């Protein structure tokens, strides 16, 4: 029986998003698959959105809902910075996200992770799941792929990690979720935030670690089947 694809279905980022603190800052990470039902609407979307120079948010759930919340928070924080004459703290940004998520909890289908660095409290991670709760944590995971990562983080996360250790952990965790979760996929993007500023990194599929029974990336189906390339005329 043919399965009909509903292209008018809501765009959902059945997703893997992660935020991790380390000794000096935070690392945020996400996959890049955006789905419309069973159809992949965007295989290389950017789910880590800038709110201020020092604060970013990872978005999961409904793409439209998470984008509008991010846009409103970015606008309010811009006004806040102008009024105070200094950058907003991570806690202020996270509480603005929480305020919008909680006050509109009956209408929004989005879970968010806010991460950043400020001169008062250093690197901070705040989880704002569906419903508008806010929880400050040393690490936070969200999205459909997070189901596969709780035990992994219990074993792999440790306090006082270096920047490289934290980014390797995030990259490994997202790749694991991609391997197990059909709604996560594409590439891995990371954002490192510390006192020196922000660094964005991009890891395509052929640079990610392989997990149980995963196949290596190939340029062509012929490579997988072992068929020689057709001769060019």
Domain ranges within the chain, ordered by starting residue: 12-225
CB-based contact 186:195 (threshold 8 Å): no
Q: How far apart are CA 219 and CA 205, in angstroms?
A: 12
Q: How far apart are CA 41 and CA 83, in angstroms?
A: 40
What average pLDDT does this structure show over 61-74? 95
Enumerate the active-site residues.
15
pLDDT tens-digit readout, 123-160: 999 999 999 999 999 999 999 999 999 999 999 999 99
Which residue in 146, 134, 163, 194 sits closest to 30, CA to CA? 146
pLDDT tens-digit readout, 217-231: 666 656 656 666 555
CB-based contact 187:206 (threshold 8 Å): no
CB-based contact 18:190 (threshold 8 Å): no
**Average pLDDT of the residues of the chain:** 89
CATH number attached to the domain at 12-225: 3.60.20.10
pLDDT bracket for residue 79 (50, 70, 90): very high
């Amino acid at each position: 029986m043919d399965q009909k694809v509903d292209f008018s279905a809501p765009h959902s980022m059945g997703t893997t998003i992660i935020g991790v603190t380390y000794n000096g800052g935070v690392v945020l990470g996400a996959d890049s698959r955006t789905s419309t039902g069973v159809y992949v609407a965007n295989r290389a979307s950017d789910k880590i959105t800038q709110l201020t120079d020092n604060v970013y948010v990872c978005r999961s759930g409904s793409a439209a809902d998470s984008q509008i919340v991010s846009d409103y928070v970015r606008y309010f924080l811009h006004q806040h910075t102008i009024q105070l004459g200094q950058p907003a703290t991570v806690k202020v940004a996270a509480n603005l996200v929480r305020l919008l998520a909680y006050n509109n909890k009956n209408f929004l289908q989005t879970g968010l992770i806010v991460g950043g660095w400020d001169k008062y409290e250093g690197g901070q991670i705040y989880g704002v799941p569906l419903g508008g709760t806010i929880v400050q944590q040393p690490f936070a995971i969200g999205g459909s792929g997070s189901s596969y990562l709780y035990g992994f983080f219990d074993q792999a996360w440790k306090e006082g990690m270096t920047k490289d250790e934290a980014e390797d952990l995030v990259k490994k965790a997202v790749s694991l979720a991609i391997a197990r979760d059909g709604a996560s996929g594409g590439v891995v993007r990371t954002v490192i935030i510390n006192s020196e500023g922000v660094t964005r990194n991009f890891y395509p599929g052929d640079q990610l670690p392989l997990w149980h029974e995963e196949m290596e990336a190939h340029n062509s189906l012929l490579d997988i089947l072992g068929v020689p390339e057709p001769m060019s005329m």
